[in-house]
């Protein structure tokens, strides 16, 4: 651990969490879950887009090969 960290920082963070109340903690959990879901959706969309681009690229390559040899 770096030496320049305030030794009371952890205590202050814990105190802030304890005093924030369950609604605030629930909101933090909801926000975290929302972020996870958004990353999952973005990953799926990216994978789908990349698969479509790869298929289109392969189709163009096959068409070019067919045009040259035919």
Q: Please report the pLDDT score of residue 67 as a whole number.
A: 57
Q: Please report the pLDDT score of residue 20 as a whole number.
A: 83
Our count of domains for the chain comes to 1
Note the pLDDT tens digit of each residue in 3-24: 677 878 888 888 888 888 888 8
pLDDT: which is higher, 2 or 13? 13
3-state secondary structure the chain: CCCCCCCCHHHHHHHHHHHHCHHHHHHHHHHHHHHHHHHHHHHHHHHHHHHHHHHHHHHHHHHHHHHHHC
47 within domain boundaries: yes
State the residue range of the domain holding 39. Answer: 25-69
In whole angstroms, what is the distance from residue 48 CA to residue 53 CA? 9
Is residue 1's pLDDT more than 50? no
53 within domain boundaries: yes
4 within domain boundaries: no
12 within domain boundaries: no
34 within domain boundaries: yes
Note the pLDDT tens digit of each residue in 10-65: 888 888 888 888 888 889 889 999 999 999 999 999 999 999 999 999 999 998 88
């Amino acid at each position: 651990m770096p030496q320049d960290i305030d030794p009371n920082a952890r205590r202050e963070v814990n105190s802030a969490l304890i005093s924030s109340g369950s609604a605030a903690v629930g909101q933090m959990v909801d926000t975290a879950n929302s972020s996870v879901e958004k990353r999952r959706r973005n990953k799926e969309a990216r994978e789908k887009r990349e698969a479509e681009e790869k298929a289109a690229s392969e189709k163009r390559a096959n068409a070019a090969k067919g045009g040259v040899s035919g």
